Structure 1
Amino acid sequence: MAGQDLVGQRIKTVRRQRGLSQAQLAHPELSDSYVSLIESGKRTPTPAVLELLAEKLDCSLTYLINGVTAEQMQEIELGLGYARLAMENGEVSEARTRYAELLADSGLAGLPQHRQDAEYGLALAAEACGDLDDAITLLNGLRQNDPVTMSPERHIAVVVALSRCYREQGDLVQAVNVVEQILGGAVRPAWTDGLIRLASQLVAAYFERGDLLRARQFSAEVLAAAEVLGTPQALTLAHWGAAIVAVESGRGDEGVTHVERALAIQSEHGDPRRLARLRSDYLEVMLAVRPMQAATWRDQLVKAEKELSESSANPMAKLRCVMNLARAELLLANPQQAGEHIRSVCDMLDGMPKLLQMEAHLLHGQTSAEQHDRQQALRELDTVAEALDQLTGTRYTAHVWLTTAQVLERIDEPDRSVDAYKKALACVGL
């Protein structure tokens, strides 16, 4: 039902509640035929007419326009504020509950922008809670149902989140497609911070599906665009994407240069929550590029973990930091300390994305193997293999199968190890 139809219905309802005829409501400023047209949805009243009718009907202008009283509007806006605050503070389950409660309130029916804010917030909260299916459903609903009322900035933010969720879910085809619908045309829109963020998602999706050449080419294009744009957010995102592509292409020193540049920009201009997460991600890169300095990265990860715990970082960022602490201890040949971190990881897994859970089980298997707990290692690797068998073969799954094969070899499971090596090769078409 159109907005003007709803306004007309509310005017008609209140008029009847007041015991007024259309002529009585109209006199002397308006004609009764004009009031009739408004009530039937055939005319859209001007703001001045709406204000006049609200005064004559002794009701709030807010109610006639949105279907809620001024008090209800205040409660809705307060509820949205509390939900956003919970999300910013890392209380993602609380945020999800608050957004869901707002959407269950019929008062949002006449408030398209507020409803859109609540649906978008609920999608981000669902993603942060690890419920990617629900997040994807909500985000697709926003794209399909609000194409007119949605601002260009919100539309880009929705597609950024949607591509990220598809990627976290392992659906790299959709992760690429939703972004290429915007950036893949012959004429690309003028670059903005939002489009740089969207492009960064596309770089990550290209990289994870194994298209390193395309990832490298597009990353260079995004970095050049960010340099021209010159904003801290664009530069941070572009350098970070370039760092990951460089590291995975075997150009570790170049990757370190980019990641340190991203960290420096974020340190100068970024908010503490994003800086804490980026610092943790930086240390994950350094563990991979310079494993011989694992003791240094371990000590810095301890500080990063404390920083994340005191910030409003989401649970996934905190989990990744603890997992990296376990990896650092394994590099330092401290399996007992790694095991302590793994126990913390296990306590945090509930509700996390499936791919992140799979990584955690693989790390648990590696740690158990180093602790000579063969049975626990096998249990963890069985969980990993079961998850991998449900995924499409990509560069990422090839890497996980390869690591699984190495751990199976470590615990003297030669037949299963050979099978895992073969599956790793199959994932890259060999």
Structure 2
Amino acid sequence: MPGPGNVGERVRNLRLTRRLSQAQLAGHDLSDSYISLIESGKRTPTPTVLRMLAERLGCTPEYLAEGVEPEQRAHLEVRERHAYLTLLDGDPATAEAGFDEVLARSDDPDLTSRARWGRARALEELGRTEAAIALFEELREQAERDPGRASWLPPVIALARCYHSVGDLGQSISLGERALSRLQHLGLEVGNEHTEVGRILLLAYVDRSDPERAHTLGRRLLVPVDGEHSDAPASAHYQQASSRALNEGAVGDALYLADQALASRGGDTPLRAQARLNLAAARALLRGVTPFTTAPQPYGMERPPGDPRKAASEALDLLQTASVLEGAEATESTIERSRALVLLGEPERAVSDLEEFLDTGLALAATGTVTSEPGTDLAARARKSVQARLVLARARIAQGDRPAALVVLRSASGQLNGLPPGRPVAHVFRELGELFEAAGDALGAAAAYRQALEAAGLRPARPQAPARDLGRV
């Protein structure tokens, strides 16, 4: 545990333990009044004075300054790194416990900041997104207060991702656009940060029913203007961005980007980051086309015209990198690939892939219990299971088998009723309504559209009574 209190309190406690007076501790170099001011917290000793006091008190300067001996601090440094490795290995619960230990025992600002970042990431991985947001917000405020020590970029990108996860699309887009603008200002249009911000914004634009902005950004991210990006390695781009940040006086950004330059020197291709971006771009492409020309779009939310087959072909090309994805992202790639196959006129392949996926048990069972928190893993898994069923129904409709499609849609509707309300669920209900309409079930479509409004926090207006009946009301 750290030593009690502040520097002055530690000096006083050790002095009393050694049975020294203030004059004895001061010796010939200092005055007893100066020692009194240090102990009362009215003066902060210089490094030279700290070394002098530590020698007379029989401790280390580090203990007086921070309350932790060098060996203890080294142990905590190692513990923090081990916790982060555990997080990367896919065990966020154990990682959280490790970060908590470091936070409880360390007074070192840099180590504490790293441990708080790791704990926030562990909470995010555990599905405790609201708690993660609170920590990331603290880290963002800290970086804004002290830009000379910490970079503002990592917590802002993490917050954009977390706000998207809980359905706050406005905040997610606002933060994502600010981060993207900052990266572009620094000339950094490669690397994990640029890829992750682009991915988050693509998903948020799609979920906000803004495919035009999603497509514009997707083209920008995936098909840069000729000559815009050089063939230099990512480390060179990071180094240039770090130099620009340093010239601006943004030392925190400069240090962070320099660290990223060193980390990228290994030459490894960020395959997973690119695959995640490709998945988001494929999703944007597939949401920007109209698969059923006979089904009108409800509530004035018409999609822009597009070429479904071309979009589907491009999406399949993008999804070729999906083999490196895992978990929920692998599930989503299966769903989007099947959606593309339907648009390409290959519903049989889509049916085969989706039925195999649903039969493996990877999707949450329709009778499964989900938590009431929108950002939790169970709710997200259940939503993915419903989305897989909707694409399966879409494939059945494309095959001309409307009875089979209705069976799947009613199963999906029952599963949707157990999910917490919010924008993501409202989008799924809207797609359910479109499919009921395409399958010829007008009552099912009306009910789904009504539930879409309610999930979005709206209520359908009550029908007005005819004018001749108003007097009777």
TM-score by length of 1: 0.68
**C-alpha displacement at 1:221, in angstroms?**
4.3
Within 1, Cα distance between the matches of 2:377 and 2:329? Answer: 20
Which residue identity lines up with residue 337 of structure 2 in the other structure? M
Q: Deviations over 1:80-110 (max 9, x none)?
A: 233212211111222233333443x2x23x2
Q: Which runs of 5 or more structure 1 residues have no equivalent in the other structure?
A: 268-272, 296-326
**C-alpha displacement at 1:352, in angstroms?**
0.7
The answer to whether the Cα contact below 8 Å between 2:176 and 2:201 also exists between their aligned partners in 1 is yes
**C-alpha displacement at 1:420, in angstroms?**
1.4
Higher helix share: 1
Change over 3 Å in CA distance of 1:349–1:118 after alignment to 2: farther
**C-alpha displacement at 1:253, in angstroms?**
3.3
Which residue identity lines up with residue 360 of structure 2 in the other structure? H
Q: Among 168, 172, 175, which residue is 1:175 paired with?
A: 172
Which residue identity lines up with residue 142 of structure 1 in the other structure? L
Change over 3 Å in CA distance of 1:163–1:291 after alignment to 2: same
- 1:301 alignment partner in structure 2: none
**C-alpha displacement at 1:37, in angstroms?**
3.9
Deviates more, 1:194-203 or 1:12-21: 194-203
Within 1, Cα distance between the matches of 2:393 and 2:286? Answer: 28
Which residue identity lines up with residue 82 of structure 1 in the other structure? H
Within 2, Cα distance between the matches of 1:243 and 1:423? Answer: 27
Which residue identity lines up with residue 204 of structure 1 in the other structure? L
Q: How does 1:4-403 map to 2 (within 5 A)?
A: 6-103=6-103, 105=104, 107-108=105-106, 110-145=107-142, 147-148=144-145, 154-183=151-180, 188-191=185-188, 193=191, 195-196=193-194, 197-222=196-221, 224=224, 227-228=229-230, 231=234, 233=270, 236=274, 242-250=281-289, 251-258=311-318, 263=321, 285-290=336-341, 331-332=351-352, 335=355, 337-342=356-361, 345-346=364-365, 352=377, 354-361=379-386, 363=388, 378=410, 381-385=413-417, 387=419, 390-392=421-423, 397-403=426-432
Provide the aligned length of Structure 1 versus Structure 2: 376
Change over 3 Å in CA distance of 1:146–1:200 after alignment to 2: same
Within 1, Cα distance between the matches of 2:345 and 2:316? Answer: 15
The answer to whether the Cα contact below 8 Å between 2:312 and 2:343 also exists between their aligned partners in 1 is no
Within 2, Cα distance between the matches of 1:362 and 1:145? Answer: 39
Q: Deviations over 1:36-87 (max 9, x none)?
A: 4433444443333322322221113332222123343244223323321221
Within 2, Cα distance between the matches of 1:21 and 1:274? Answer: 66
Within 2, Cα distance between the matches of 1:368 and 1:275? Answer: 25
- 1:417 alignment partner in structure 2: 445
Within 2, Cα distance between the matches of 1:248 and 1:405? Answer: 13
Q: Deviations over 1:216-258 (max 9, x none)?
A: 3334445549835862559937666544433433423344455
Which residue identity lines up with residue 124 of structure 2 in the other structure? E
Which residue identity lines up with residue 139 of structure 1 in the other structure? F
Within 2, Cα distance between the matches of 1:172 and 1:205? Answer: 6
Within 1, Cα distance between the matches of 2:128 and 2:220? Answer: 33
The answer to whether the Cα contact below 8 Å between 1:123 and 1:135 also exists between their aligned partners in 2 is yes
Percent sequence identity over aligned pairs: 24
Change over 3 Å in CA distance of 1:379–1:240 after alignment to 2: closer
Change over 3 Å in CA distance of 1:349–1:164 after alignment to 2: same
Task: Give secondary structure in 2 for the equivalent of 1:342.
Answer: coil
**C-alpha displacement at 1:209, in angstroms?**
1.0
Deviates more, 1:158-167 or 1:351-360: 351-360
Q: Which runs of 5 or more structure 2 residues have no equivalent in the other structure?
A: 235-268, 290-310, 397-402, 459-473
Within 2, Cα distance between the matches of 1:101 and 1:361? Answer: 40
The answer to whether the Cα contact below 8 Å between 1:339 and 1:367 also exists between their aligned partners in 2 is no
TM-score by length of 2: 0.63
Which residue identity lines up with residue 87 of structure 1 in the other structure? L
Change over 3 Å in CA distance of 1:276–1:382 after alignment to 2: closer
The answer to whether the Cα contact below 8 Å between 1:294 and 1:331 also exists between their aligned partners in 2 is no
Which residue identity lines up with residue 213 of structure 1 in the other structure? E
Change over 3 Å in CA distance of 1:21–1:218 after alignment to 2: farther
